[in-house]
Structures are given as structure tokens and as C-alpha cells.
Amino acid sequence: MELKTDDLSAPMIALLGLGALASAMGSRSYGRTTPEALSLKDLKTVRAMLKSGDIPVSTVAAQFRVARSTLYRNTGLKSSA
């Protein structure tokens, strides 16, 4: 069941607070969101670059201005360590 603002009375909104209200409504519009580090197009390019094994992960990460951990997490690569 999804809550709507029409379902909540003013005292209930005051009691819950804005954060709890946003949570109860299932909306991310009140919270902070983080942008995606890599687009799908970038991910395809990164996978192609890393597939050959000629280019180190650190070099690819620097080129796309992301951390190496971002590449490992998003491409499914396993660390060689």
C-alpha cells in the first residue's frame, strides 16, 4: 500500500517529520541522490579496454576519473591481489 499526502493529516506529518514522511511515501525526492559514475556507454568502453589486459585498471580508472574500486564493482572484474 502506497501512502499519499492526502492520506496524512497535518498533525501526523508534524509528528513524523519530513524524513520519516519521505520514507513512508517511498520517495527519493526528499533525500540526497548520487549520480552514476559511469554511463552504460562508458561501461561498455571500459569493459572493452580491460578485456585485452594490455591496459592497467589504474590507467583506465584515471582516464574516466573514477576509482579503481568503481571499475571492479561495475564491471565484475576480480582483483589480481
Domain residue spans of the chain: 1-33, 40-75
**Cα dist. 78→30, 35, 39, 62, 75 in Å?**
36, 24, 21, 18, 9
Q: What is the pLDDT of residue 44?
A: 92
pTM here is: 0.54
Q: Name the grid cell of 20.
A: 520519516
Mean confidence (pLDDT) of the chain? 76
Query: Which has more pLDDT, 35 or 16?
Result: 35
Long-range contacts of 45-51 (CB under 8 A, 24+ apart): 46/71, 46/74, 46/75, 47/75, 50/75, 50/77
